[in-house]
Amino acid sequence: MEWTIRPYVAYREAEILALYESVGWTNYTSDPEMLRAAFRGSWCTLGAYRGDRLVGILRAVGDGASVVFVQDLLVAPDCQRQGIGTRLLQTLMERCSGVYQLELLTDDTPGNVSFYRAAGLVPADTLGCRAMIRMRG
């Protein structure tokens, strides 16, 4: 069955929690209220659907002019390596093609690095930048 990418406009907590749980993102699933608020405050959310099933999500924050930050990009484990994550990211990149900076933080694994490099992103340090972060407990 084919999949489609479209804006994710109606937050359905059960499907979101199931998707985040499927990839082990328990920092989100353990605080559903935070996740709900995060979706409300997002600049752009895109869903990947196989039929009626949500199989991937991309959530971006920012101002849509100078900076967009890819906060979440995840695909259900049984649907990975089918181009869904790539298409979600490409759709966002098309939508914000005039934005000065598209940024993200990701785990420093060979798979993640090669995925984002293939999409045209580069490590911040290659541009003379340093990523800084503070995380709650």
Which CATH number covers residue 11? 3.40.630.30
Region 117-131 average pLDDT? 93
DSSP string, 2-46: -EEEEE--S--HHHHHHHHHHTT-HHHHT-HHHHHHHHHT-SEEE
Place of tokens 């966002």: 92
Rounded to two decimals, the pTM is 0.93
What pLDDT does residue 13 have? Answer: 96
What pLDDT does residue 117 have? Answer: 94
32-36, 37-41, 131-135: range with lowest mean pLDDT: 131-135
Residue 74's closest CA among 89, 64, 63, 62? 89
- Residue 136 banded pLDDT, cuts 50, 70, 90: confident
Write out the two tokens for 82. Answer: 């089918």
Q: Is residue 137 part of a domain?
A: no
DSSP string, 39-76: HHT-SEEEEEEETTEEEEEEEEEE-SSSEEEEEEEEE-
Contacts of 130 (CB under 8 A, 6+ apart): 124
Give me the number of domains the chain comprises: 1
What pLDDT does residue 135 have? Answer: 86
Domain enclosing residue 45, as ranges: 3-127
Q: Is residue 136 part of a domain?
A: no
Residue 47's closest CA among 97, 4, 96, 90? 4
Residues 61-89: tens digit of each pLDDT: 999 999 999 999 999 999 999 999 999 99
**H or E segment to which residue 102 belongs:** strand 101-104
3-state SS assignment for residue 109: coil
Q: Is residue 118 part of a domain?
A: yes
Q: Is residue 94 part of a domain?
A: yes
Q: Is residue 40 part of a domain?
A: yes
Q: Is residue 104 part of a domain?
A: yes
Going 10 to 11 to 12 to 17, the CA torsion angle's sign is: positive
What pLDDT does residue 1 have? Answer: 61
